[in-house]
Amino acid sequence: MKRIRTALCLILAAGLLAGCAFLPSDSEPETPAPTDPLTGLALEWQGQRPVAVAIENSTASTTQWGLSSASVVLEALTEVGTSTELCLVYPALAATPKVGPVAAGQDIYWRLLVGQQPIPVQRGGGQFDQNFLDYYSIRAVDALEAGRTAFDCGSEWSNAPLWYTSGKAISKVLDELSISSALTKSRVTSAVSAAADSASSGADAVLSLPALLPQEADGKLPDATAPDAVNVRVCFDDDNATGFSYDADSGLYRMLHADGTPQLDANNGQQAGFDNLLVLFSASELRDDGKTYDYDLSMGGGVWLNGGHLWTITWTQGRDNTLLLYDADGRTMNIEAGTSYIALVTSLTGQELTVTNSSGEEILG
């Protein structure tokens, strides 16, 4: 009888211990709130694909829509003898304002953004653009195909019409083009952030994306050792340059045309501005057509500017993050959450970066 009581006690104790294993523990880390893959800020458009729009940026492009509300702006010189184009990226269709003038698609932008599953928006594109889209089975919303159902150029016709669109207009043609605005499961999508909520509600987990940049709200803040950096000029060639001037009141780098005039958003008259500037140096070469540049996106040097200060960095393309950043000592680093301008610069065409401090002295040797 004593042996039976002892055995029962052992079974009861084992049951109690097993039960404790299912009780919530104060030491278990909380699942972090999902963040926007474009800015590192609180996620507002969960499960939605970003929208990436190529727009004109020649010296004559004084009318540009959508600049001030883009989460990310990309810029690179892609062809010999042409101006740069900008790629404006928004977190979802519902967040995409009137945007344009829509330009030809560029594969360099889709290569940088492919991990974020963007909906590319363009007006035509070269062979390399089409080759990339075909290879990854990506369907673009193209003005040459969708026409006035999703694009417009106003009531007055000209020899060089300024074609524009919007998230609302794009949504009208998605079903016809067999394009979904929702994220789809892929190698880089993850449902971890929504797993707990889904398990309790019985709903399917909402997919999320890796971050375009390693950003966090408490990233590497400007410190006493970071040089003062308030004026920036990225020169792509003799006819193409983009400038920035740091505005201490807003903490933003305000965008400038090549002639130093403010680069304004035609939607609201506001000068475009960014929390982060990233100028990435990349090796490049001319492709077989003799006019299109091919950029090496595997690794390179560069600079990061934030809060009126500059850091020298190196970068690589990672598996989960589109870009991984390292400080001057080779340690991985996160940057401040917020909007970003990213330029790809190569020495092939004599491109250069000039940064001056508040005293007007150049700080890059």
Which of residues 164 and 160 earns the better pLDDT score?
Answer: 164
Give the DSSP H or E segment for 91. none
Residues 74-86: tens digit of each pLDDT: 999 999 888 999 9
Per-residue confidence at 31, pLDDT binned at 50, 70, 90? low
For the cut 50, the answer to whether the pLDDT of residue 185 exceeds it is: yes
pTM for the whole thing? 0.87
For the cut 80, the answer to whether the pLDDT of residue 4 exceeds it is: no
Radius of gyration of the chain (CA): 24
Per-residue confidence at 23, pLDDT binned at 50, 70, 90? very low
Domain ranges in the chain are 51-192+209-364
Would you state the pLDDT for residue 201? Answer: 42
Would you state the pLDDT for residue 34? Answer: 84
Strands (E), 174-239: 215-216, 231-237
Residues 303-345: tens digit of each pLDDT: 999 999 999 999 998 876 689 999 988 999 999 999 999 999 9
Would you state the pLDDT for residue 325? Answer: 94
Would you state the pLDDT for residue 329? Answer: 87
Would you state the pLDDT for residue 267? Answer: 97
- What percentage of the chain reaches a pLDDT higher than 70? 82
Q: Which tokens in the block code for residue 164?
A: 């524009």
For the cut 60, the answer to whether the pLDDT of residue 346 exceeds it is: yes
Which of residues 44 and 201 earns the better pLDDT score?
Answer: 44
Which of residues 60 and 7 earns the better pLDDT score?
Answer: 60
What type of residue is 78?
A: T
For the cut 50, the answer to whether the pLDDT of residue 71 exceeds it is: yes
Would you state the pLDDT for residue 321? Answer: 65
Query: DSSP letter string over 284-338?
Result: EEE-TTSSBEEE--SEEEEEEEETTEEEEEEEE--SSSS-EEE-TTS-EE-EESS
Residues 92-124: tens digit of each pLDDT: 999 999 999 999 999 999 999 998 999 999 999
Rounded mean pLDDT of 173-186?
90
Return mean pLDDT, the chain.
Answer: 85
Rounded-to-integer distance, Cα 39 and Cα 211, Å: 8
Per-residue confidence at 161, pLDDT binned at 50, 70, 90? confident
For the cut 70, the answer to whether the pLDDT of residue 138 exceeds it is: yes
- Contact (CB, 8 A) for 232 and 305: yes
Integer angstrom CA distances of residue 337 from 39, 72, 203, 213, 307: 5, 12, 30, 9, 12
Would you state the pLDDT for residue 6? Answer: 41
Integer angstrom CA distances of residue 360 from 235, 252, 356: 18, 19, 5
At the fourth CATH level, which superfamily is domain 51-192+209-364?
Answer: YerB-like (3.50.90.10)
Residues 187-213: tens digit of each pLDDT: 455 554 444 344 434 445 667 788 999
For the cut 80, the answer to whether the pLDDT of residue 166 exceeds it is: yes
For the cut 90, the answer to whether the pLDDT of residue 14 exceeds it is: no
For the cut 70, the answer to whether the pLDDT of residue 176 exceeds it is: yes
Using DSSP, state whether 240 is helix, strand or coil. Answer: strand
For the cut 70, the answer to whether the pLDDT of residue 5 exceeds it is: no
Which of residues 156 and 258 earns the better pLDDT score?
Answer: 258
Cα-based angle 308, 310, 311 (whole degrees, multiple of 5): 150
Would you state the pLDDT for residue 151? Answer: 96
